[in-house]
Amino acid sequence: MTLQDELLEAISWAAAKGWTPATGGNFSVRTDEGYLVTASGVDKTRVSAEDLLRCDLDGRVLAGRGKPSAESDLHAALYRFEPNIGCVLHTHTLASTVLSRRFPEGIRLAGFEMQKALAGNVTHDAAITLPVVPNSQDMAELAAHVQAGWPMPWGFLVQGHGIYAVGESVAACRRHLEAIEFLLACTLEETRWTS
Ligand SMILES: CSC[C@@H](O)[C@@H](O)C(=O)COP(=O)(O)O
Ligand SMILES: [Zn+2]
């Protein structure tokens, strides 16, 4: 399968899960020349190859129709920060939106078997933190918030906004995104018990 097809499949998968409401979310994969990213404002349940733009690592459009994602420059920054990042998947989910507002200092996870789906974790018996960065419409500012908390090997949450998952490949990034979403759903449920 080509990288483009892997990306399109990942977008359809995330959209089918209901993680991209009202055109929310953006998605990219690293290429030889930079990255391939979703166009801005498209319905992620109906994305096709014509809705992807080719960009260089400075975020300049090399080819493609329409405008790149409003958050394309953040994708570019992530690829520049870490040469091992091969894919960036961003979703707007209920749990990530609510919990990133409730816990802006980061979301502590401990005792979940699913933590092992996040690279570098081999046991449930560890406390890890999912970073949360303040939201901004200015991608340079948002990227600076992310850089200040780097490294973030699985991704991060943007406050009141959603999840940015990263991974070495599309498959690894999908695993991180799904694990983060599952761990957040568990945490949201537990937060309800205790509040
Ligand atoms: C529909 S609100 C979400 C947007 O503001 C943005 O955060 C987003 O995820 C999608 O923007 P896009 O420009 O389509 O990539
Ligand atoms: Zn978004």
176 known ligand binder:
no
- CA 133 to CA 131: how far, in whole Å? 7
Query: CATH number of the domain at 3-194, please?
Result: 3.40.225.10
Model confidence band, residue 194 (pLDDT cutoffs 50, 70, 90): confident
User: What pLDDT digit, counting tens, does each position of 7-41 carry?
Assistant: 999 999 999 999 999 999 999 999 999 999 999 99
Mean pLDDT, residues 119-132 taken together:
98
Burial of 38 (0-12, 13-18, 19+ CB in 10 A): buried
For helices 170-194 and 94-102, the axis angle rounded to 10 degrees is 60
Take atom 7 of ligand 1 and give the residue whose Cα is closest.
Answer: 24
145 known ligand binder:
no
C-alpha distances out from residue 12 to 6, 8, 9, 64, Å: 10, 6, 5, 20
**Cβ of 16 below 6 Å from ligand 1:** no
Domain parsing of the chain, residue ranges: 3-194
Amino acid type, 48? S
Confidence (pLDDT) at 89? 99
Helix (H) or strand (E) holding 37: strand 35-38
User: What pLDDT digit, counting tens, does each position of 48-87 carry?
Assistant: 999 999 999 999 999 999 999 999 999 999 999 999 999 9
**Cβ of 22 below 6 Å from ligand 1:** yes
Residue with tokens 């906004």: 161
pTM over 0.90: yes
- Which among 110, 149, 140, 139 is positioned nearest to 26, based on CA atoms? 139
Percentage of residues in the chain having pLDDT higher than 90: 99
Give the distance (Å) from ligand 2 centre to CA of residue 35.
Answer: 18
- CA 47 to CA 45: how far, in whole Å? 6
Using the atom order of ligand 1, give the atom closest to the CA of residue 161: 7
Contact 101, 159 (CB under 8 A): yes
Contact 37, 26 (CB under 8 A): yes
Using the atom order of ligand 1, give the atom closest to the CA of residue 72: 15
Using the atom order of ligand 1, give the atom closest to the CA of residue 21: 1
User: What pLDDT digit, counting tens, does each position of 133-162 carry?
Assistant: 999 999 999 999 999 999 999 999 999 999
Take atom 3 of ligand 1 and give the residue whose Cα is closest.
Answer: 24
Give the distance (Å) from ligand 1 centre to CA of residue 71.
Answer: 7
